[in-house]
Structure 1
Amino acid sequence: MRPGSDRLARDPAGAPLWVVVLDVGAKVLLVLAVSRVALDPAWGNLEGKAPGTRALTYPLLAFLVPLAHLLRRSGRPYPWLVDLMVTVPAFSDILGNRLDLYDRVTWFDDAMHILNTGLLGGAAVVAVGYVGAPLMRRLVVSVAAGMTFSVVWEVWEYYAFVTRSAEVGTAYADTVGDLALGWLGTVCVAAMIGSRSSERQDSQPAARRPAPRLPGATVS
């Protein structure tokens, strides 16, 4: 293992090549997919599911991290892992609808709410440098960020197409269930994301254990 290859557990900028490849690939495929959906909603199985709005908002989500990094102008390395974790939810929704998994697989929607909300919460944990922080700090950041995204998504979904679809009668129960699953995802990711770092720190003498990096702190 080359020196520094384990920085990913502590530093969002220390991403290996596969993270960069997946991130760039997901973005390219997402842009191509939403372009096709904008022209032909039936291609993405998105008839009646606000295809035009998705074609606009998904690229905005996928390019949120690049935009924030550009505006920040901090000179810090690019946070590839955070970018990938934010891009996956948009890409997975387009891909899942294209393959018709939301309608053909009964548990797929539930799994996506757990995974995607968890990824968004986990992205916030990595972004602020709390991967090696105590569990309670990771939970606070992950749940706050993930559930904020989840609430925004449910509100957008309700007004974008649910009120005009056959799902309106069951929308309340579905929303409550989705929020609960999203919360579960944020908790699981917060617990998992610091496990390797915690194990590594536990194996070091107390005097040598690095303090959790606070937002804005530099990594030596």
Structure 2
Amino acid sequence: MSERRRVLVAEDDSRLAGMLETLLVSDGYDVELARDGQRALHRGLTESFDAVVLDRGLPAVDGLGVLRGLRSNGVTTPILILSALGTAPDRVDGLNAGAEDYLAKPFDIDELLARVRALIRRASSDVPTVRFPGGQLDVGSRTVTLGTGERMVLSDREASLLELLARRPEQVFSRAVLLDEVFADADDPGVVDTYVHHLRKKFGRTLIETVRGVGYRLGGVG
């Protein structure tokens, strides 16, 4: 059975939020609700979603503020703005802020579901994944999905290091090579060992193998 996609719905109208949740669940998604912009921003930054349905008129932080906050922190999850503000300038503002799509209220249910499907389909085809023993890394979102279904978002450097090791699993990388390819802006060579430690702490010591006197390679592939 394929894993169910996760959708974050940020909507402060409780009746509409409940309706959206029911519609999306019936279409095969796992849905999380956020009733204000602060919660939506927090969840979008700390959890992994396949799409976000975002109202512009949210309390605490408005929808465009949530959108800009996610994009400025490197979150690439596709976002559909669903808003009563439906003029051409409103749509332009939303798209310029980083949304992939914009749908005005009131909306057609079938059109909404079709647009969410299209967003997820495009994102899935555009973003490469790299497999490693026990899981896979979604390079675009820096999200690791483990065999258990658990998801974890990595930092840029963690993701870059894991991607390099996973793409060339048979190769042993010296610290000098890793410094050059992943940590080119670092002054301290010890940064390599630090990030190896970070990844091992998250995914187990066997994820990265130490080849004594040479360097590191992906573990579990020999």
One fold, TM greater than 0.5? no
Structure with higher Rg: it is 2
Higher percent of residues as strand:
2
Structure 1 length as normaliser, TM-score?
Answer: 0.30
The structure whose RCO (Cα within 8 Å, separation 6+) is larger is: 1
Higher percent of residues as helix:
1
